[in-house]
Amino acid sequence: MNGPLFAALIGAGLGAGCLLIIRGLRPRPVPLVVAIRALDQPGRSVSTPLAPSHDDLRRRLGRSSARVMAAFGLAESGVLAEQLRVLDKPIERHAYEKLLAATAGFALPMLAYAGLTAGGVSVSPVAPLIAAVVLATGGFLYPDLPLAEQVEQRRQGFRHALSSWLDLVTIILAGGGGIETALTGASNVGGGWAFDEIRLALRRAELTGRPPWDLLDELGATLGVVELQELAASVRLAGGQGAKIRQSLAAKADALRAQQAADIETNAETRTEKMIVPVTVMVLGLTLFIGFGAIDAISTDGGATTFTPAAVQP
């Protein structure tokens, strides 16, 4: 690849990047949800224009990145949408992280090539271009790697909160409260994102007039928590057929705690098994280090012993 062609490719990349930045920084119409939320703020009239106080550069770039991903069909993955929903992470933020990592991965070899060229070192432009494409691809895919583990940890935390919520519901039912009163009262006591999700589901049920167990079932399906769906089925059975809900919920809470204890034990055993390889390598390295010194010392002493009698002969 000759110099003019390489310069043309770099210029085209910079031009496309500047075009995306300009398009991302261009003001966009304010969404209706944001406008309605702004009307509830004290001291703001309806005629007052909405100042983009929270619409900073990062969010604008995030929205532009999301539009770029949507243009290439990368933001329509059902698995990605489900993972981001569980993590409560906007697609704009995830797209911003992906494109930022890709840009950094592409820029590092280019900067290195520019520094070497300025220093008088002759380097073929093909190698940094290939490295830039590889690092940009890796940087674009890197934010997707920890999502599965983060989602599993988030669901595990929801299961812990769910067992506590069931205990509270059982206590309220034992005090003579109704099923809907127990569900709402127990959700108002706890804190954290799991209790917030439960409260929001129960609030939607209250506003729409639907049974709360239907919304809990939908929440369990959305978050991928099967235990919540099983709980919704138990509550639906109690609400429709008068089953013994308190004993059922208590048994469900005990089953959740037993499952959590089994998961903790399994994770501990898995981590122990993962430590076998590094410990083995460490012991092997230590053995080689000590053994090499001992063998070297023995070999040196043996050589001196066999050489000395020959040296003193007349």
Structure tokens at 17: 């990047």
Quick one: 125 and 139 in the same domain?
A: yes
Quick one: 126 and 209 in the same domain?
A: no
d(CA 38, CA 54): 11
| 24 contacts 64 by C-beta, under 8 angstroms | yes
pTM, whole model, 2 decimals?
0.62
Mean of per-residue pLDDT scores for the chain: 75
Whole-number percent of the chain with pLDDT over 70: 69
What's the number of domains the chain is made of? Answer: 2
Tell me which residue of 142, 163, 173 sits closest to 247, measured CA to CA.
173
pLDDT at 311: 47
Which tens digits make up the pLDDT trace of 280-297? Answer: 888 888 888 888 878 877
Whether 285 is covered by a domain: the verdict is: no
Whether 279 is covered by a domain: the verdict is: no
| 190 contacts 182 by C-beta, under 8 angstroms | no
What is the average per-residue pLDDT within 101-129? Answer: 83
What is the average per-residue pLDDT within 23-34? Answer: 57
Considering only the C-alpha atoms of the chain, give the largest distance between any 2 of them, rounded to a whole number of Å. Answer: 116
Quick one: 30 and 85 in the same domain?
A: yes
pLDDT at 44: 40
Question: Given 122, 145, 168, which residue is the final one in a domain?
Answer: 145
d(CA 61, CA 18): 12
Alpha carbon dihedral 279, 285, 290, 292, in 10-degree steps, equals 160
From residue 198, alpha-carbon distances to 19, 113, 123, 186 in Å are 43, 54, 60, 10
Quick one: 86 and 166 in the same domain?
A: no
Quick one: 169 and 129 in the same domain?
A: no
Confidence grade of residue 307 (pLDDT, cut at 50, 70, 90) = very low
Quick one: 130 and 22 in the same domain?
A: yes
* Cα angle 164, 167, 169; round to 5: 110
Whether 282 is covered by a domain: the verdict is: no
pLDDT at 53: 42
The rounded radius of gyration (Å) of the Cα atoms in the chain is: 32
| Number of other CB atoms surrounding residue 235 within 10 Å | 26
Whether 200 is covered by a domain: the verdict is: yes
pLDDT at residue 42 is higher than 50:
no
pLDDT at 21: 61
Whether 307 is covered by a domain: the verdict is: no
What is the average per-residue pLDDT within 51-63? Answer: 58
pLDDT at 115: 83
d(CA 108, CA 112): 6
Quick one: 134 and 155 in the same domain?
A: no
The alpha carbon of residue 264 and the mean position of all alpha carbons in its chain are separated, in whole angstroms, by 21
pLDDT at 246: 72
Question: Given 116, 145, 174, which residue is the final one in a domain?
Answer: 145
Quick one: 127 and 180 in the same domain?
A: no
d(CA 88, CA 62): 16
Kindly state the DSSP code that residue 176 receives in the 8-state scheme.
T
| Number of other CB atoms surrounding residue 284 within 10 Å | 10
Quick one: 7 and 139 in the same domain?
A: yes
Write the CB contacts of 276 (distance below 8 Å, at least 6 apart in sequence): none
Tell me which residue of 137, 154, 26 sits closest to 74, measured CA to CA.
137
pLDDT at 30: 57
* Cα angle 131, 132, 137; round to 5: 100
Structure tokens at 214: 């239907």
| 62 contacts 96 by C-beta, under 8 angstroms | yes
Hey, is 311 helix, strand or coil?
A: helix
Confidence grade of residue 27 (pLDDT, cut at 50, 70, 90) = low
Which domain range does residue 229 map to?
Answer: 150-271
Hey, is 95 helix, strand or coil?
A: helix
Which tens digits make up the pLDDT trace of 68-97? Answer: 666 666 655 678 888 888 888 888 888 888
Quick one: 7 and 141 in the same domain?
A: yes
Confidence grade of residue 267 (pLDDT, cut at 50, 70, 90) = confident
Whether 44 is covered by a domain: the verdict is: no
Whether 264 is covered by a domain: the verdict is: yes
Quick one: 81 and 192 in the same domain?
A: no
pLDDT at 43: 39
Q: What is the DSSP track for 234-252?
A: HHHHHHHH---HHHHHHHH
Whether 175 is covered by a domain: the verdict is: yes
Question: Given 256, 271, 286, which residue is the final one in a domain?
Answer: 271
Confidence grade of residue 268 (pLDDT, cut at 50, 70, 90) = confident
Which tens digits make up the pLDDT trace of 192-232? Answer: 888 989 999 999 988 888 888 888 888 988 888 888 888 88
Which tens digits make up the pLDDT trace of 160-177? Answer: 888 888 888 888 888 777
Alpha carbon dihedral 126, 130, 136, 139, in 10-degree steps, equals -140
pLDDT at 192: 85
What is the average per-residue pLDDT within 116-128? Answer: 80
Quick one: 222 and 181 in the same domain?
A: yes
